Amino acid sequence: MANLETSLKDAMTIEGAMGVALVDYGSGMALGTLGDSNEIDLNMAAAGNTDLVRAKMRTMEMLGQHDNAIEDILVTLTSQYHLIRPLTTDTGRGLFLYLALNRGRANLAMARHQLRRIEATLEV
């Protein structure tokens, strides 16, 4: 199992990674961040994406999708991908990983695969 610091460092090795955060979507606070603050304000992104995660969770509840878990949420911008992965482990409930990628350098399929692997080994 990997601690938070190791997991954030692993996420930054993903091709095209600009920044990563582990976020509590109850409060909107980032528990940890790593990345280039010149490219993206990770604390602001954490707070803003919390609203997105809450809205999607609420929608899933209204639709009665209790047996379907959200694997990830993708926001596609002209020059970036923003990948949000709610944690599904017992210790990770209420948290999500947020990864900002440079769209020109990233391989989205590989980034999703690597973020899933990081989630599986993250010990919160």
Question: In the chain, how many H helices and how many E strands?
Answer: 3, 5
End-to-end CA distance of the chain: 10
Q: What is the pLDDT of residues 15-43, one digit of tens each?
A: 999 999 999 999 999 999 999 778 899 99
Which pLDDT score is estimated for 59? 94
Task: Compute the Cα dihedral for 21, 40, 71, 60 and give only its sign.
Answer: positive
CA distances in angstroms from 8 to 17, 59, 100, listed in the order given: 11, 29, 12
pLDDT along the chain (124 residues), means of 10: 91 97 94 88 94 94 90 96 91 91 96 95 88
DSSP string, 64-109: T-TT-----EEEE-SSEEEEEEE--SGGGTTEEEEEEEETTT--HH
Q: Do 36 and 98 meet the contact criterion of CB atoms below 8 Å apart?
A: no
Q: Where are the domains of the chain?
A: 4-121
**0.85 exceeded by pTM:** yes
**Token couple for 36:** 């280039």
- The verdict on domain 4-121 having CATH code 3.40.50.300 is no
